[in-house]
Chains A and B, each alone.
Chain A
Amino acid sequence: MATSMVVQVVLLVFVYILNPALIGVALIGSVVFSAFALGQRVLNEAAYVRIDHKATDLYLAGPLSPEGYFVGMAGGILLIYVTPVAILGGLAVAVAHLSFASGLLLFGLSGLVWLFAASVGYVFSTFFRDNRAIWAYSSLFFNVFGVLPPVFYPLGLFPAPLHPIVLLMPPSAAAAILQAAIGVTTLSSGELALAAGGLCVETAVVFAFAIFWARRTVRSK
């Protein structure tokens, strides 16, 4: 469990050293990032148990539905690692002085980000025949979606012309909405609609596709 928090803690330390005033934003970002990372973990785990353990052969040649297998695996990983994320969430609520409504928003948006990442991870996991090939992609998603965009730091520090792009990326969209909720970032109504709408639509579409894909790939051709 501890190893799943290394990146978050390191980034929190960086932010605190650079600007202690931003630690509240960074803690909120670390919860969103953790949700993304836990979903992303499905990519590695699903591929690993399929390739190395033949778990899909064992589980899917039986009454368990393919979508049940996918959701069960993603949910299982979430359950295992949820404790440190909950601790980060508690710290975020305390340090950033989140209201009850903002706390609920953090919980809900993190859930959407997790679902998005888990769905993408499961779909991608089906394309690999060798575990080693996954590491590069896993690292790519991790950094491009979670570390680079304004998740641990305010949206205002990111170049303005690129805001529409990061507002369409689920982790930074969720972080921007939460930053707006605590008054650190100002979002126009258009930007808010883009971030919230994009996050909801992307998550719904990707989750639906993952269900479809899980059913489709249960049998190879």
Chain B
Amino acid sequence: MSGEALRSADLRKVYTSRGAPRVAALAGVSMEVRSGERVALLGRNGAGKTTFLKIASTLLRPTSGSIEVFGIDVDATPERARPYIAVVPQEGKPFFHLCPREQVYTYLRARGLSRETAKARTEEALERMGLTEVAERLSVTLSGGQRQRTMVATVIATEAPLLFLDEPTIGMDPFARRDVWASLRALTQKGSTILLTTHYLDEADALSHRLYIIERGQVLVNGTAEDLKRSVGGTLKVSMPNGASAIDAFRSFGSCVADGSLLSVIVSPERLGELMDLAVRSRLTATVGPVTLEEAFLRVVGRSIDEDT
């Protein structure tokens, strides 16, 4: 598949229920995802990420606006779009009475794959997700991370042209998360397209070609992780544990944020030496690190990704 995998224009969703106020979950989201891309959707809880994914995956009707998957109108003809997609739902769990091997195989067979293909893809997905050793254990006996890996294995085994992953690595340890990243990279190299939501900014940074930041149902910004980090105003972050009281002296170097007694300054590499001299003269200890997506997110949204809307 080539060209555009997903396109939405002015997509809106208002939830209404008797006796409750109307909630505008999406307030005009326009987005494009090209074939073979890995795109991350970032936002705080309640920002509208899952609503967008549910509409894109044909499970929820939008209030207005348009959305297409490979040129197919998702709202008008969802049954035409469904063969091209697969979804890791948020908080999804494998069937407890099935083992990971049965879970993946059954799902592939339900999607219409032949026995041989389903079997081969099942083994490949289990191996990629590091589940071979527990492939015969009932899912009810697996850890939370292993269950989540089983869900991801179930969906990546489809090799569907467009994969939606809602918080796919939640509950996984760092090693398992990296296995998932490697699998997703391999899938896009084979031609699949991936749209994922995540709360892990390092994951979005490491994995996505582009990302969208959503806040209160609107896209605030989109671009590469590098673009966003550059927009912060520098590539380095200097942290001074007792520097908050000296904030005025550092304002000329770049963006300064005081959090309790901690002072953080975003600075360009050219002015780092000058800033460190001032820190030494002010008898402040300072540590230097690269600017991360966290700073970019804070600058764009004004709040941490961990705060609820």
Task: Enumerate chain A interface residues (CB-CB to B < 8 A).
Answer: 49, 52-65, 68-69, 72, 218-221
Contacts and interface: CB of A to CB of B under 8 A. Distances in A.
Contacts of A54: 89-93
Contacts of B112: 63-64
A54 B94 CA distance: 9
B87 A58 contact: yes
A53 B112 CA distance: 21
A63 B93 contact: no
A58 B83 contact: no
A53 B78 CA distance: 23
Nearest to B63: A221
A59 B112 CA distance: 12
A187 B50 CA distance: 58
How large, as a class, is the contact surface on chain B?
20 to 34
B59 A57 contact: yes
Contacts of B58: 60-61, 218-219
A69 B111 CA distance: 11
Which 9 pairs across A and B sit closest by C-beta, in order of nearness? A57-B89, A54-B89, A54-B92, A61-B57, A61-B87, A63-B83, A53-B93, A64-B110, A62-B111
B194 interface: no
A220 B164 CA distance: 18
Nearest to A59: B110
A64 B82 CA distance: 8
Contacts of B57: 57, 61
Contacts of A58: 87-89, 92, 107, 151, 154-155
B216 interface: no
Contacts of A62: 82-83, 85-87, 110-111, 158, 160
Contacts of A52: 93
Contacts of A64: 110-112
Contacts of B154: 58
Interface of B: 54, 57-61, 78-79, 82-83, 85-95, 107, 110-112, 151, 154-155, 158, 160, 164
Contacts of A68: 110
A72 B112 CA distance: 13
A59 B107 contact: yes
Contacts of B164: 61
A219 B60 contact: yes
A221 B110 contact: no
B110 A72 contact: yes
Nearest to A52: B93
B297 to A, nearest CB: 27
A54 B168 CA distance: 14
Contact of B59 (A49, A53, A72, A219): A219
Contacts of A55: 92, 95
A57 B93 contact: no
A58 B83 CA distance: 13
Nearest to A57: B89
Contacts of B158: 62
A126 to B, nearest CB: 13
Given A53-B95, A55-B95, A64-B110, A219 B86 contact: no
Given A53-B92, A62-B87, 15 more contacts: A54-B90, A55-B95, A57-B57, A58-B107, A59-B107, A60-B58, A60-B82, A61-B57, A61-B58, A62-B160, A63-B83, A63-B111, A218-B58, A219-B58, A220-B61
